[in-house]
Structure 1
Amino acid sequence: MRDVSEKQAADDKVAVVIVAAGRGARAGQANGPKQYQQIGGGAVIARTLGAFLMHPKIGPVVVAIHADDSALFRRAAGANADRVVAVTGGTSRQESVRLGLLALRSNAPGRVLIHDAARPFVDAELIDRTIAAIGERQGALPALPVADTLKRETAEGMIGETVSRAGLYAAQTPQGFPFWPILAAHEKAHHLGKADFTDDAAIAEWAHIPVKIVPGSPDNVKLTWARDIAMADQRLSSAPRFPDIRTGNGYDVHAFEPGDHVTLCGVAIPHDRKLSGHSDADVGLHALTDALLATCGAGDIGTHFPPSDPQWKGAASRIFVEHAAKLVRARGGRIANADITLICEAPRVGPHREAMTETLSAILRISLDRISIKATTNEKLGFVGREEGIAAIATASVVFPGNIPE
């Protein structure tokens, strides 16, 4: 049996299954399936993936794709292809969802969102509303009240009656559910040969899983027809936009202990003491690691390199920075600059600044003019002023792909 902390960690995870195995014939096949067509300079599916991968509450993401689309998917998703699990979908949306859910079973989340790849305008607020409404035995469905007058047609193509709009809603995705109940519902429907459900809320209703309606978004349109693709492209191309530039900060401090040198920004500097730490205690690089991780919401240095792990004892801190830079690049980020301030009374940093800058340039793979290393004292105040240790503050700026709408 799992302990309480393990169970809580599983229950807190929110996974996503994105359905992208359809052929999208109604949108026209001249440019390929609709999920891979271009809107605003990028593939539809790339924008959909980005909305979930950038959301802080989202854990694993599974994408169900057509058996013939592996190369197409990797091209469209770019660096994000390595951040998701791609599985071969089925011949229907329902079967693709079931296969996507099965891919999560070995590391089961507490909750799961199921979303159509062809809804690229899903936003963080809608994702938040849906997640918040998922209960232990309750699903969540974003939906909009039906605004148009509804007519029922006769066999002869005439109006038979006007249908009341009262209580009628148009369903959207992502639809959210507790993981095990919705997987069980899909498996039961599969084994009974029931394959006529048009969405997951319908399967939940059939399986007696209550589903709460939450406010949908009028922007969260599903791209179905070729005209929808054209309008989405026009919407993105004409909207005022700003570059996606993110800034992260980091801070670290280490105390002195007996030794003959300190390591600062990757450079060994002779000194009458050294810095105490599990690794080489390079405060400058530790602070920079946290700053880089902050630009993509990837936690902090302790998350990736816990001091309780013996493999990092005495490790060179450049390993930590290289790891953080790799995570940034995996998310499509380009490091624009790094700024480090070392706060100490001694040793003198100035004579070593050039070597530090060159070291960081090699680690980050950016030019020297994009790196700033400064030093200051603490005017004899506090633990730094008493020469009990060294502190460092770091700032990193990263440019990520795509733009942020105004």
Structure 2
Amino acid sequence: MQGQAGPAGAGRLWAVVVAAGTSRRMGSPGSKVWIPVGRVPLLVHTLRPWQDRRLGLAGGVLVVAAGDVDRAQALLRDQGWAADWTVTAGGAERHGSVRAGMEALRARGLDPADVVLIHDGARPLADAALISRVAAAARAAGAAVPVVDLADTIKLRGGEGQVAATVDRRTLAAAQTPQGVRAGWWRDADARWSLAGLDRDPTDDAELLERAGYPVQLVPGEARNRKVTTPADLAWVTAALGVAGPGERRWGQGLDVHPLVAGRPLVLGGVTVPHTRGLAGDSDGDVLTHAVMDAILGALAWGDLGEWFRPDDPGVRGAASLTLLARILDRVQDAGWQTARVDATLVAQAPRLAPYRQAIRERLAAALGVDPAAVSVKLTTTDGLGFAGRQEGIAALALVELAAVAS
């Protein structure tokens, strides 16, 4: 990872993910971050958004229980993240784990001007947009915390189980993570907390800074950025991640259109079709594969292609669309799904695609991990009508059925 320069005077950007808790309220042995969610541990879902190169992280530290260090290192290697992330053992409580993560970053060259984003390992729904928002605020203000408004009326408890008062919730907010802070601020605030001789740890890093007199900028959080604390939280997050239930099936539809331009090969379903022009696009312009990808995302309510593959992503420029499909399928498989059937339609006046239909079916089927009999590719024209009829472009539609992988 390459750290971004940031505003004047700002240093690099780092991450600390703390996952060393005992998960007492979950009622599960060991840390809840190792509970399978789909076909991978919860921790994989938490760490995945942090691998987005556009965040500009200089690196990260994963803090786990001492007995989980080897397991965590193996996870990072298996996921291909070990080059940028290291593992260290945490403390008995959250603050001790954050301190251990900060010490690990100091060994990697952490500077007081650098910004560190500190995140709970049991919050798997913090996406790259939220991470970027907190990072930008912490760089500008020195420290930032994402918060969400409270929806319920808040009561202050009194004696004998009675209400003491009703609190104006407009003055309150629920704090989330990641929380961002300049490394020098955090170290000074930590030292001040220790000198104060308090009999408890700070509940989060924002409180640590507040007590030391540092300003903490509020940043809009996200309601779906829920922390897994109880079995009910786990069930909610599992559903939000689109994880398959036993015997479950889902369907999605996709549509894509690309213009025909000179000087590019025509790629459809991963097969290069001889033609005088090809499809424009940031990738290879494979409109059929894009429609299938869009349908898969739709089946799981995972957004659209524009959210997954932005034009400024260096991994998209000139990429083979089947490679991008493989990235989506990795996530689909982690969530416990497999492709069952695809029904696609190509809309093109020219060239004549019938001679290449079987090759397209076979190539697409191989990429999806299914038999060619499960992939239908229909061909049609518009009888000269519209952009396709004028040979200005090609459209593709796809319907995809996903099935839960049998356990």
Count matched residues.
355
Q: Is the CA contact (8 Å cut-off) linking 1:138 and 1:178 kept in structure 2?
A: yes
- C-alpha displacement at 1:222, in angstroms? 7.7
- C-alpha displacement at 1:326, in angstroms? 3.9
The structure 2 residue matched to 1:32, chosen from 26, 29, 46, is 29
Residue 372 (structure 2) aligns with: 368
- C-alpha displacement at 1:88, in angstroms? 1.4
The structure 2 residue matched to 1:299, chosen from 299, 308, 312, is 308
Unaligned runs of at least 5 residues, structure 2:
239-243
Q: Given the superposition, is the C-alpha separation of residues 53 and 343 from structure 1 closer, same or farther in structure 2, using an over 3 Å criterion?
A: same
- C-alpha displacement at 1:268, in angstroms? 4.4
Distance 1:258 1:236 in 2: 46
Aligned with 1:205: secondary structure?
helix
Residue 241 (structure 2) aligns with: none
Distance 1:396 1:105 in 2: 48
Q: Given the superposition, is the C-alpha separation of residues 305 and 34 from structure 1 closer, same or farther in structure 2, using an over 3 Å criterion?
A: closer
Q: Is the CA contact (8 Å cut-off) linking 1:340 and 1:373 kept in structure 2?
A: yes
Normalising by structure 1, we get a TM-score of 0.60
1:251-307 residue CA offsets vs partner (Å, 9 max, x unmatched):
132425489x95432334455x34265876543235445655776555237435554
Name whichever of 88-97 and 354-363 sits farther off.
88-97
Aligned with 1:374: secondary structure?
strand
Q: Is the CA contact (8 Å cut-off) linking 2:251 and 2:399 kept in structure 1?
A: no
Q: Is the CA contact (8 Å cut-off) linking 1:116 and 1:173 kept in structure 2?
A: no
Instruction: Report the identity percentage.
Output: 23
Residue 87 (structure 1) aligns with: 87
Q: Is the CA contact (8 Å cut-off) linking 1:342 and 1:374 kept in structure 2?
A: yes
Distance 1:323 1:277 in 2: 21
Match status 1:266 vs 2:270: yes
Residue 184 (structure 1) aligns with: 184
Distance 1:391 1:283 in 2: 7
Distance 1:53 1:320 in 2: 16
Distance 1:338 1:194 in 2: 61
- C-alpha displacement at 1:69, in angstroms? 0.5
Match status 1:205 vs 2:210: yes
The residue type equivalent to 1:376 in the other structure is T
Distance 1:316 1:254 in 2: 17
1:83-102 residue CA offsets vs partner (Å, 9 max, x unmatched):
99563143242232244466
Residue 384 (structure 1) aligns with: 388
Residues 327-338 of structure 1 mapped to structure 2, 5 A cutoff: 328-329=332-333, 333-338=337-342
Match status 1:275 vs 2:278: yes
Distance 1:49 1:188 in 2: 32
Residue 174 (structure 1) aligns with: 176
Unaligned runs of at least 5 residues, structure 1:
152-161, 402-406
Residues 155-174 of structure 1 mapped to structure 2, 5 A cutoff: 174=176
Residue 97 (structure 1) aligns with: 98
1:12-60 residue CA offsets vs partner (Å, 9 max, x unmatched):
x999754221345x6699x63242586xx759x95577478689x9967
Residue 7 (structure 1) aligns with: 6
Q: Given the superposition, is the C-alpha separation of residues 394 and 109 from structure 1 closer, same or farther in structure 2, using an over 3 Å criterion?
A: farther
Q: Is the CA contact (8 Å cut-off) linking 2:73 and 2:86 kept in structure 1?
A: no
Q: Given the superposition, is the C-alpha separation of residues 245 and 48 from structure 1 closer, same or farther in structure 2, using an over 3 Å criterion?
A: farther
Q: Given the superposition, is the C-alpha separation of residues 326 and 349 from structure 1 closer, same or farther in structure 2, using an over 3 Å criterion?
A: same
Residues 227-238 of structure 1 mapped to structure 2, 5 A cutoff: none
Structure with the greater alpha carbon radius of gyration: 1
Q: Given the superposition, is the C-alpha separation of residues 284 and 326 from structure 1 closer, same or farther in structure 2, using an over 3 Å criterion?
A: same
The structure 2 residue matched to 1:148, chosen from 121, 138, 157, is 157
Match status 1:251 vs 2:256: yes
Normalising by structure 2, we get a TM-score of 0.60
- C-alpha displacement at 1:365, in angstroms? 0.9
Distance 2:390 2:22 in 1: 69
Distance 2:315 2:226 in 1: 39
The residue type equivalent to 1:249 in the other structure is G
The residue type equivalent to 2:96 in the other structure is E
The structure 1 residue matched to 2:289, chosen from 277, 285, 304, is 285
Distance 2:45 2:192 in 1: 36
Aligned with 1:375: secondary structure?
strand
- C-alpha displacement at 1:360, in angstroms? 0.9
Residue 115 (structure 1) aligns with: 120
Q: Given the superposition, is the C-alpha separation of residues 282 and 191 from structure 1 closer, same or farther in structure 2, using an over 3 Å criterion?
A: same
Aligned with 2:66: secondary structure?
coil
Q: CA RMSD in A?
A: 5.8
Aligned with 2:87: secondary structure?
strand
Distance 2:325 2:26 in 1: 46
Aligned with 1:275: secondary structure?
strand
Q: Given the superposition, is the C-alpha separation of residues 284 and 301 from structure 1 closer, same or farther in structure 2, using an over 3 Å criterion?
A: farther
Distance 1:373 1:234 in 2: 37
Aligned with 2:382: secondary structure?
coil
